[in-house]
C-alpha cells in the first residue's frame, strides 16, 4: 500500500506539472503516455505476439504520432488550421490507418488473424485518441481550469468510492467483474466528485470568470464524469479478465501500467470536453 501511495502521488504531481505547463509540453507528454498505453493494450489483446514490434503495432504508433501532430498543428501555439479542416484530416487519417492495417493483414497473410487487425485499430482509438482530449480540453477557452475536472471526476471519484465502499458498502455493483466494488461506493464517488467540482468552481473558477456562474455546471460535469470514470475502470478490468492478465504493465509501482492508472481518465477526458462545450459554451 505504501508503494502504491508514493507512486500514485508521484504520478499525480507529474500530471499536475504537465497540465500547468500546458501547450506543446502537455501534447508531448500525452503522446508518450499514449504510445506506452497503446503498447500495453497491444500486448493485452494479442496484437503483439512476442518478440519485436510487428507491422500492426508500427502502423498504430505511426497513426498515433500523426494524430497528435494534427491536433497540435491545429490548435497549438502557432496552430492556424480551422476546426472543420482539422476534423477532415483526422477522419482521413483514421481511414488511412485502417486501410494500412488491412493491407498488412492481406500482404502478410496468414501471419495475422482478423481479430488482431480489429484490436490494433481499437487500441489506437481507445488509449491515444481518447487521452488526447486532455490536450483538447486544456486548449479550450478557460481550458486551463476545465481540464482539472477530468482528474477530479476520475481520481476524486475513485478515492471517495473506495472509502465509502469500505464504510457502507453492502450491495455488489459488478460481482463477477469486480467483486469489491459496491453500489454504495459508486454513489459516494459520484457525490464526492460533484462536491469537489462545485467547490473547485466556487472557490477558484468563478473568481477568474466573474461574469459567469458556472458552479452548477461544474457540479453536473463532476457527477456525469464520475459515472463515466467508473465505467472506464470496469471496461479496462473486463479486458484484463477476458485475456487473463493481472496488470497491463509494470511502469508504475503498486499500480501496474499506464492503463491500470489512467483507465478511468481515458473514459472521462472526452466526456468532460463535450460536456464543457455543451454546458459552459467554451
> Cα separation of 174 and 153, whole Å?
20
pTM of the model: 0.91
Place of cell 492508472: 261
Residues pairing with 172 in the sheet = 182
Name, in order, each residue with C-beta under 8 angstroms of 21's C-beta and a sequence gap of 6 or more. Answer: none
> Cα separation of 170 and 152, whole Å?
25
Domain ranges of the chain: 1-139, 142-282
Give tens-digit pLDDT for 4-51: 677 778 888 888 899 999 889 999 999 999 999 999 999 999 887 666
Give tens-digit pLDDT for 193-216: 999 999 999 898 888 876 667 888
What confidence score (pLDDT) does residue 229 get?
94
Give tens-digit pLDDT for 225-277: 999 999 999 999 999 989 888 888 877 776 778 998 898 999 999 999 999 88
Amino acid at each position: 500500500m505504501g508503494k502504491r501511495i508514493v507512486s500514485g502521488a508521484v504520478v499525480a504531481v507529474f500530471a499536475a506539472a504537465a497540465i500547468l505547463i500546458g501547450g506543446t509540453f502537455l501534447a508531448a507528454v500525452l503522446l508518450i503516455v499514449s504510445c506506452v498505453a497503446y503498447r500495453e493494450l497491444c500486448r493485452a489483446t494479442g496484437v503483439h505476439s512476442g518478440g519485436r514490434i510487428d507491422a500492426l503495432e508500427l502502423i498504430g504508433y505511426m497513426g498515433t504520432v500523426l494524430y497528435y501532430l494534427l491536433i497540435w498543428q491545429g490548435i497549438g501555439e502557432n496552430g492556424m488550421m480551422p476546426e472543420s479542416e482539422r476534423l477532415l484530416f483526422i477522419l482521413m487519417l483514421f481511414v488511412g490507418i485502417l486501410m494500412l492495417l488491412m493491407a498488412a493483414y492481406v500482404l502478410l497473410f496468414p501471419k495475422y488473424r482478423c481479430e488482431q487487425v480489429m484490436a490494433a485499430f481499437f487500441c489506437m482509438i481507445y488509449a491515444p485518441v481518447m487521452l488526447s482530449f486532455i490536450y483538447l480540453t486544456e486548449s479550450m477557452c478557460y481550458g486551463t481550469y476545465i481540464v482539472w475536472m477530468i482528474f477530479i471526476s476520475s481520481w476524486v471519484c475513485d478515492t471517495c468510492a473506495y472509502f465509502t465502499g469500505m464504510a457502507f458498502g453492502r450491495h455488489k455493483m459488478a460481482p463477477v467483474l469486480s467483486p469489491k466494488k459496491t453500489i454504495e461506493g459508486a454513489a459516494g464517488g459520484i457525490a464526492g466528485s460533484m462536491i469537489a467540482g462545485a467547490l473547485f468552481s466556487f472557490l477558484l473558477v468563478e473568481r477568474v470568470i466573474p461574469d459567469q456562474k458556472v458552479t452548477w455546471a461544474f457540479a453536473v460535469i463532476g457527477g456525469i464524469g464520475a459515472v463515466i470514470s467508473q465505467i472506464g475502470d470496469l471496461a479496462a478490468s473486463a479486458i484484463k479478465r477476458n485475456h487473463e492478465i493481472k496488470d497491463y504493465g509494470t511502469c508504475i509501482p503498486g499500480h501496474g501500467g499506464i492503463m491500470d492508472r489512467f483507465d478511468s481518465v481515458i473514459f472521462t477526458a472526452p466526456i468532460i470536453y463535450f460536456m464543457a462545450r455543451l454546458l459552459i459554451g467554451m
